[in-house]
């Protein structure tokens, strides 16, 4: 019963939106807004074939590498900067400077420094996706309970053991919030990185469809991006529930009380 209710909540709004789309396009002759049936057929024709392996798989590969690198660097640097007060004071102005630079502006610079290749695309993703992870990790480390920190030092818990058993669990909720933002930013930058001097990828293909006035094909590419976003969201929720099982359990106990 609970599963059926969750499924109903999950599918209700998309079904209503598709019905609304279908009703509003009955009898429509607009070139720019395809009908649901037309878009469905185009989606199957375009993406269920070689184009999936030529465009979608490379894009997803760059996205995965970019996200993983942003998470690893963000958490590693965040723990280091958040744990050392003088280092935090030293790096804060520089971090704020680079955070304020829109990542798309760096695309031409990275093209010159790295070249026009997959490494450049991954670098573009990392340049923007790292910030929510890094800054949330720093703030999470700074917010570690001082009593727990003093207790750990009293019992001689230091070094990696302190980070593993105290710092990371305490900062975990904020780190996961940063990773959630990181995923959405990374998806946007994946598309942007493929719009510049690229010959493959979802971003390149969607732009090519738009320039050639292949409107249903263009919309089908946008649907692919939306589906990738949904899959990323489900993967994140599943992962978060397991990493922060203690946190969600504590919140359920507090709400029950």
Instruction: Return the CATH number at 156.
Output: 1.10.3720.10
What DSSP character marks residue 248?
A: H
Domain that holds residue 138: 54-244
pLDDT at 156: 81
- How far is Cα 99 from Cα 91, in angstroms, rounded to an integer? 12
Q: How many domains does the chain have?
A: 1
- 9 in a domain, yes or no? no
Scanning the chain, the segments in alpha helix (DSSP H) are 2-24, 36-47, 50-51, 57-83, 85-99, 106-114, 118-142, 146-154, 159-162, 168-193, 202-211, 215-243, 245-256
The structure's pTM equals: 0.89
pLDDT at 184: 94
Segment 135-159, tens digit of pLDDT: 999 999 998 888 888 888 887 877 8
- 227 in a domain, yes or no? yes
Segment 173-207, tens digit of pLDDT: 999 999 999 999 999 999 999 887 677 889 999 99
- 64 in a domain, yes or no? yes
């Amino acid at each position: 019963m609970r599963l059926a209710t969750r499924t109903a909540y999950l599918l209700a709004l998309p079904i209503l939106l598709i019905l609304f789309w279908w009703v509003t396009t009955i009898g429509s002759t607009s070139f720019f807004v395809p009908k649901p049936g037309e878009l469905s057929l185009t989606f199957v024709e375009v993406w269920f074939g070689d184009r999936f392996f030529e465009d979608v798989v490379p894009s997803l590969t760059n996205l995965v590498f970019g996200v993983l690198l942003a998470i690893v660097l963000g958490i590693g640097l965040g723990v280091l900067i958040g744990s050392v007060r003088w280092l935090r004071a030293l790096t804060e102005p520089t971090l704020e400077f680079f955070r304020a630079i829109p990542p798309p502006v760096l695309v031409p610079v990275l093209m010159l420094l790295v070249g026009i290749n997959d490494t450049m695309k991954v670098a573009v993703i990392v340049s923007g996706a790292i910030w929510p992870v890094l800054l949330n990790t720093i703030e999470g480390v700074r917010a570690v309970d001082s009593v727990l920190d003093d207790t750990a030092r009293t019992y001689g818990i230091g070094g990696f053991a302190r980070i593993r058993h105290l710092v990371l669990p305490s900062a975990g909720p904020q780190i996961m919030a940063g990773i959630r933002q990181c995923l959405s930013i990374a998806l946007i930058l994946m598309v942007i990185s493929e719009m510049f001097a690229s010959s493959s990828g979802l971003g390149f293909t969607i732009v090519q469809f738009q320039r050639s006035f292949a409107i249903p094909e263009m919309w089908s590419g946008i649907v692919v991006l939306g589906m990738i976003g949904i899959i990323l969201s489900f993967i994140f929720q599943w992962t978060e529930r397991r990493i922060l099982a203690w946190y969600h359990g504590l919140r359920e106990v507090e709400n029950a009380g």
